[in-house]
Amino acid sequence: MIKDNLAKVQARIDKVNHTQAVTLIAVSKTKPASDVQQAIDAGQRHFGENYLQEALDKIQALKNSKVCWHFIGPIQSNKTKQIAQNFDWVHSVDRLKIAKRLNEQRPDNMGKLNVLLQVNIDNEPTKSGVSLEEIDEVVTQIKSLDKLSLKGFMCIPNPDHSQQSFARMAEIGKRYPDLATLSMGMSHDLESAIQNGATFVRIGADIFGKRD
């Protein structure tokens, strides 16, 4: 089933008219390591996790697999050390304090940690992310951190008008040609996200089934 679902999602991605390379991130939160293993066996390499302890258990269980782990959930300050030590990518850097902690706690022998700046694209008070006005300043500060490699941006738009939000995010991305990674789009709106330049799409339910 998981193998078939991955093929269906990839077919949806391929159908969208786009020129950029798009990487499918299988969001495996709340799903067991055995499900992740099925996806690995089907050729999937990029996995997104929201909950740190659950993710660490899976990373340990699957440590012999060649997998690229993405942390995509909210980050509390007391979790940064283990995130810095165990992940290849962090999508949800939503404030400078978190970036500085990840930088301080990234082991020297692991190389730079790839990070994305989470943007609160709709300026919603309930959502994490830097405001549109803060982006320039925070980008400059993160670029000065020696153990992080800032690659681009992530957003979680309001589903009522995600098309407009994706278009706004695309415009922001154009201001930073060296930050070409754009993480946006989920099961219900991946086509619109890709049309607006998404290079990572984060898909959970359409691959692994509804969350338990």
Q: Which long-range contacts (CB under 8 A, 24 or more apart) does 6-10 make?
A: 6/39, 6/42, 6/43, 6/44, 6/207, 7/42, 8/206, 9/190, 9/203, 9/206, 9/207
- How far apart are the C-alpha atoms of 206 and 25, rounded to whole Å? 12
Domains present along the chain, CATH in parentheses: 2-208 (3.20.20.10)
| Residue 37 clears pLDDT 90, i.e. is over it | yes
DSSP 129: S
Query: Is this prediction's pTM over 0.95?
Result: yes
pLDDT tens per residue, range 50-103: 999 999 999 999 999 999 999 999 999 999 999 999 999 999 999 999 999 999
pLDDT attached to residue 210: 83
